[in-house]
Amino acid sequence: MPFISKINRQSDYNLFRSATPLVIDNGASYFRIGWAGEDDPRVIFRNIVQRPRHKTTGETVTIVGDHDPALLKYFDCTRSGPRSAFDSNVVYQFEIMEYILDFGFDRMGANGSEIDHPVLITECVCNPVQSRSKMGELLFETYGVPSIAFGVDAAFSYKYNQLQGICDRDGLAMCPGFTTTHVIPFIDGEPMYKGCCRTNVGGYHVTNYLKQLLSLKYPYHMGRFTWEKVEDLKMEHCYIAQDYISEAKLFQRGTKEAEEKTRLWQLPWVPPPTEEPPSEEEIARKAAIKEKLGQRLREMAEAKRSSKINELENELHGLEFLLNQLEQVAESDIPSFLAETGYVSRQEIESARNRTTQSLRKAKGEPKSEQTETEKADSSNNEKYSLVNVADEMLTPEQLIEKKKQLSIKSMSEGRMRLKQKRQEAELERERKQQLEEEKRLENPELYLEQLHAKYKDLSEKVDQRKRLKTNGGHTNGNNLSGGVGRGERLNAAQRERMRLLTTAAFDRGKGEDTFGAKDEDWQLYKLMSRDNDDDDEGPDEDDAELARISSRLQDLDPTFVPKLETSTSQTAEVPRARPLTKEDFQIVFGVERFRCPEILFNPNWVAVDQVGLDEMAGVSMRRLSYKDESLESRLTSSILLTGGSSLFPGIIERLEAGIRMIRPCGSPIKIVRALDPVMDAWRGASAYASGPQFHTQTFSKMDYYEKGEDWLRSYQLKYSL
Amino acid sequence: MEPEVVEAELVLPSYLSFKKVQMYEKYPKGQSRGRHWKHLKQIIQAENYQNYPPEEPNYVNIESPPSMHPCKKICDITGFEAPYYDPRTNLRYANTEVFKIIRSLPNEYVQRYLALRNAQVVLK
């Protein structure tokens, strides 16, 4: 908002005689106070009060009007926002009003014991008497004002412009203000309140509408849209469309004209630092560091390994030494000899030695000498399984147990051998196959590659289909990508079939004759029901392995080959990647909003105010006058004055003319003019009025106020033409 | 208080010589005084306008009547002419693109759009 407040303290208060009236334009948005007869008010400020707490001292203070926001940083304004004494142009909170008057008089330089000047103060049309009397009481009792006059701001503005020859004695004053819009007909220079009408829509609503729309459109920048900023934007960019719908169509079609009318507000935006690709040196340096680290790790691993080998070798030596010693020791001395070493028997030491040798071999990275092992096993087989071939009858019970043990060990080792053999055979087979393929490839590389590709395609399709079948059942409806999770999508085909069987079994009972069990196949049902579905995994496994093999082979042979991605991973909802914020993300675009917001003056029901708009108000006003006088109505429409802050929107006059032309008979004269200064003229008119010689006849004193009573105050009305 | 605040005379002084009754006398500190003002609705009710002749203008009867023209339907999101209405969200919309948008809007935003024309769902 342009900082239009004037709040400097005036120093010449005492130079004015006590008969000079003080003129106050008490508007819902701005408070203006000055001396009668002057051209401009002395003090202007927003008609708001804040009561924040001082951050350091913690005391609640009163701040009236708008100030440099930089100074408000010392105060905690979060608890209470700016408050207004107005509701729909009627003053209803007189405590706030008193703060405002305090501030206004103080800045005028008042320093006596009371305000010893008559006061002319504006109010809304047909102000409720309670508000008027409270205002009178406040001025008389608290400030000691000698006399008061109440007038209507729009009327003062009209009279002022009439004096300047802008409009005639008969005419309409249309005043879209801050919270309300008034239309007042004037006849013979006097406002006719019975022809008045008021719609509760004004600049406040326009700003609020714009603020809401912008913060809904740009939720990320909501904090930017402060009241003051939006008010600023409204005053700078909003205009009234000649015809809303056709103007909106321009924007909907995205025409060039609309593009030109679109305004951009670039919020402060700093481009993120662009990362430069690292230089050669940098890369080399990094590689060197990496290499060095790797070297160190390798060395560490090597050292660890050699120390382990050392350790194991020492252990082995110790054990061998022990065994040697043991051979020299007499049989009977063994237990006492072993007690020192911690081993119980010779076998234990031997097995420990075997273990150590094995781990030593492993540590040294030598392959397990299976051959020797098996040979050893073979050689020792006879003594190992000594009891196996002996008949049971010849054995003692202990030996029987031993035999059982040996039997089981033998069968296990035999099984292992068989498995090993099988594996070897499979390997041989694979090698053979590979050789075959290699031969094929060498014979005709192109054909081979083609075949491989075809095979890959076939297989991958097969695997895919099986996967789909498994997750989606028989009928793929094609929208398993949409992510709808119904019963069908959650169960696989087999589970679903099982569910179906269960439900039919549960609910088919009692339906006609029960023939279950008559046929043998019926009993198969239970098998199907009880079966869990881990039986269909073998097939795909094989195929998967084959697929992996082919794809790896293809990757080896064909550099252009790209293996298809797992379909299941691509099916999971694609997560939108966080993209870096660009300049465009910090742009606030005003397109339709530019004329959509002020349009509520003409269509108040867009903001849920079910009343006529500005253009229709003229017709309502003339209808209410009910003079049925064509010539008077023509005179009224040929002198329409637009005043009030919201009449500043560009295009409002043309739009209003078009609107009024629609409700007037064909050929009626229509002339609409904007006031010289729609914002300031009300105060100027009031100032001129209060400086007139007859002003004192229109005021009333404290005595009048208390003697004449409320009924008189209700019908009190200023006579504007003196 | 900071010197610049004092210099700007930002804070309204509590004592003003031209007042016959000071603010702190009228509204003493520490006393709960409740709400000492009436809402506009209460003020209007207390005026008893029904006791006065209807042709006499007063605050209530100078209000404008509802419009005679049908309300222009505009898209709640874009402001374009809105031939369509979404029964699920109650929003008006201009075309399919806007429809996609409104169906993807979270309910909070739908309600805020509706609140612009006072059509939001109010839970009581």
The pLDDT tens digits of the residues spanning B39-75 come to 999 988 888 888 888 888 889 889 999 998 888 899 9
Distance from the Cα of B69 to chain A's closest Cα (Å) equals: 9
Task: Calculate Rg over the CA atoms of chain A.
Answer: 50
B113 touches chain A (CB under 8 A): yes
Q: Using CA atoms, how far apart are residues A478 and A484, in angstroms rounded to an integer?
A: 11
Q: How far apart are the first and last CA of chain A?
A: 38
Structure tokens at A179: 């919270």
Q: How far apart are CA A137 and CA A702, in angstroms?
A: 8
pLDDT tens by residue, A22-79: 999 999 999 999 999 999 999 999 999 998 888 888 888 888 988 877 788 888 888 7
Do B8 and A68 count as a contact with CB atoms less than 8 A apart? Answer: yes
Instruction: Report the pLDDT value the prediction gives residue A44, as an integer from 0 to 100.
Output: 93
Mean pLDDT of A434-450: 83
Between A250 and A346, name the one with better pLDDT: A250
Closest listed residue to residue A22, CA positions, set A124, A125, A148, A132? A148
Residue scoring higher pLDDT (A273 or A19): A19
Residues in chain B: 124
Q: What is the pLDDT of residues A149-176, one digit of tens each?
A: 999 999 999 999 999 998 888 999 999 9
- Per-residue confidence (pLDDT) for residue A105, from 0 to 100: 93
Residue A474 is given by DSSP the state S
Question: In Å, how far is A568's CA from the nearest CA of chain B?
Answer: 26
Q: What's the domain range around A212?
A: 203-270+587-674
Over residues A292-306, mean pLDDT: 93
Domain tally for chain A? 3
Under 8 Å CB pairs connecting chains A and B tally to 179
Given a cut of 90, whether residue A455 has pLDDT beyond it is no
Same domain, A35 and A145: yes
Spatial neighbors of B54 by CB under 8 A, at least 6 apart, are B61
Same domain, A650 and A692: no
Same domain, residue pair A29 and A138? yes
Contact A611 B39 (CB under 8 A): no
Q: Which of B5, B12, B39 sits opposite A71 (nearest CB)?
A: B5
User: Nearest Cβ partner of A592 from B21, B65, B79?
Assistant: B79
Question: For residue A512, what pLDDT is reported?
Answer: 61
CA distance A338 to A326: 9
Q: B42 to chain A, minimum CA–CA distance in Å? A: 10
* Domain edge (last residue) among A361, A389, A404: A404
Q: Is residue A641 in some structural domain?
A: yes
The Cα–Cα gap between A554 and A384 comes to: 51
Q: Helix H segments across B1-124?
A: 3-8, 23-26, 40-47, 96-104, 107-116
Mean local confidence (pLDDT), A661-678: 90
Per-residue model confidence (pLDDT) at position A690: 93
Please check whether residue A580 lies inside any domain of the structure: no
Is residue A78 included in any domain, yes or no? no
Pairing state of beta strands A197-199 and A263-266?
A: unpaired
**Helix (H) or strand (E) segment spanning residue A548:** helix A538-557
Burial of A326 (0-12, 13-18, 19+ CB in 10 A): middle
Same domain, A238 and A354: no
SS3 A472: helix
Domain contains A56? no
Q: In this predicted model, what pLDDT tens digit does every residue of A356-379 receive, in sequence order?
A: 888 888 887 765 555 444 545 555
> What is the pLDDT confidence band of residue A278, given thresholds at 50, 70 and 90?
confident
pLDDT at site A470: 63
A252 to chain B: closest CA residue: B80
- The answer to whether A200 contacts B46, with C-beta atoms less than 8 Å apart, is no
- Which pLDDT value is given to residue A420? 93
Q: Point out the domain boundary residue: A388, A404, A420.
A: A404
Q: Tokens representing A213?
A: 């729309």
Beta-strand runs (E) in A249-385: 263-266
Specify if A180 maps to a domain. no
pLDDT-based confidence at A304, cuts 50/70/90?
very high
Confidence category of residue A490, pLDDT binned at 50, 70, 90: low
The 3 state secondary structure assigned to A146-192 is: CEEEEEEHHHHHHHHHHHCCCCCCCEEEEEECCCCEEEEEEECCEEC
Predicted pLDDT at A483: 43
Choose the mutation target among B64, B75, B80 for the interface with A, i.e. most A CBs under 10 Å: B64
Percent of chain A scored above 70 by pLDDT?
Answer: 88
pLDDT bracket for residue A630 (50, 70, 90): confident
Under a CB-based contact definition with an 8 Å cutoff, are residues A197 and A669 in contact?
no
> Which tokens hold the place of A632?
């008077």
Sign of CA dihedral A258, A259, A263, A268: positive
CATH number at residue A661: 3.90.640.10
Residue A540 is predicted with a pLDDT of 55
Does the pLDDT of residue A147 top 90, yes or no? yes
Same structural domain for residues A244 and A284?
no
* Contact indicator for A154, A704 with CB cutoff of 8 Å: no
Q: Is residue A636 within 8 Å of A629, Cβ to Cβ?
A: no
Q: B9 at the A interface (CB within 8 A)?
A: yes
Is residue A403 within 8 A of residue A386, CB to CB? The reply is no
State pLDDT tens for residues A188-246. Answer: 989 999 899 999 999 999 999 999 999 999 988 888 898 888 999 999 999 999 999 99
Separation in Å, CA of B112 to nearest CA in chain A? 8
Residue A192 lies in a domain: no
What is chain B's mean pLDDT, rounded? 87
Per DSSP, the three-state class of A138 is: helix
CA distances for A283 relative to A13, A279, A286, A287, A415, angstroms: 79, 6, 5, 6, 56
Looking at the structure, do residues A698 and A668 belong to the same domain, yes or no?
no
pLDDT value of position A100:
94
Find the distance separating the first CA and the last CA of chain B, reported in whole Å. Answer: 46
Residues B9, B13, B16: CA angle, nearest 5 degrees: 120
Task: Answer whether A175's CB lies under 8 Å from A157's CB.
Answer: yes
Exposed / middle / buried, residue A2 (Cβ in 10 Å: 0-12, 13-18, 19+): exposed
A529, A502 Cβ separation under 8 angstroms = yes
pLDDT band at A672 (very low <50, low <70, confident <90, very high): very high
Residue A276 predicted with pLDDT over 50: yes
d(CA A394, CA A384): 18
Q: Tokens representing A556?
A: 């080896």
pLDDT confidence of residue A578: 66
In a domain, A138, yes or no: yes
Regarding predicted confidence, which is higher, A478 or A124?
A124
Residues of A in contact with B67 (CB under 8 A): 604-605, 610-613, 616
Chain B closest-CA separation from residue A514 CA (Å): 49
The whole-angstrom distance between A541's CA and the closest CA on chain B is 41
> For residue A702, what are the CA distances in angstroms to A35, A140, A652, A697?
21, 6, 44, 14
Same domain, A36 and A94: yes
Residue of B nearest to A110 (CA): B18
Q: Is residue A438 domain-resident?
A: no
Q: Which of A326, A234, A151 is nearest to A599 (CA)?
A: A234
Q: Using the 8-state DSSP alphabet, how is residue A25 labeled?
A: E
- Regarding whether A319 and A287 lie in a shared domain, the answer is yes
Separation of alpha carbons B111 and B102, rounded Å: 11
Compute how many other C-beta atoms are within 10 angstroms of the C-beta atom of residue A688: 18
Which residues touch A588 (CB under 8 Å, ≥6 apart)?
A214, A218, A221, A224, A264, A265, A266, A267
* CATH number reported for the structural domain that contains residue A126 in this entry: 3.30.420.40
Does position A277 have pLDDT exceeding 80, yes or no?
Answer: no
A464 with A567: CB under 8 angstroms? yes
Q: For helices A397-443 and A370-384, give the axis angle rounded to 10 degrees.
A: 150
Helix (H, G, I), strand (E, B) or coil at A420: helix
Q: Is residue A30 helix, strand or coil?
A: strand
Residue of A nearest to B59 (CA): A126
- Higher pLDDT, residue A613 or A59: A613
Give the pLDDT of residue A571: 43
Burial class of residue A422 in the structure, from the number of CB atoms within 10 Å of its CB (0-12 exposed, 13-18 middle, 19+ buried): exposed
Q: Is A703 helix (H, G, I), strand (E, B) or coil?
A: helix
Residues A225 and A326 in one domain: no
Exposed, middle or buried, A586 (CB in 10 Å: 0-12/13-18/19+)? middle
Residues A108 and A155 in one domain: yes
d(CA A36, CA A688): 7
Tell me the pLDDT tens digit for each residue of A324-345: 887 777 777 777 777 777 777 7
CB contact under 8 A, A115 and B40: no
Report whether pLDDT(A112) > 90. no
Residues A259 and A297 reside in one and the same domain: no
Task: Please name the residue that has the structure tokens 């009867």.
Answer: B61
Residues A291 and A148 in one domain: no
Rounded Cα–Cα distance for residues A615 and A646 (Å)? 14
Instruction: Give the Cβ contact number of residue A232 at 10 Å.
Output: 14
Q: Using an 8 Å CB-CB cutoff, list chain B residues near A596.
A: 74, 79
What kind and span of H or E run contains A460? helix A445-472
Distance CA A26, CA A18 (A): 21
Which chain B residues are closer than 8 Å to A86 by Cβ?
none
Residue A383 pLDDT greater than 70, yes or no: no
Contact B46 A130 (CB under 8 A): yes
**pLDDT level of residue A572 (50, 70, 90 thresholds):** very low
More confident residue, A384 or B108: B108
Q: What is the per-residue pLDDT for A477?
A: 44
Contact between residue B91 and residue B98 where contact means Cβ atoms under 8 Å apart: no
What's the longest Cα–Cα distance across chain A?
150
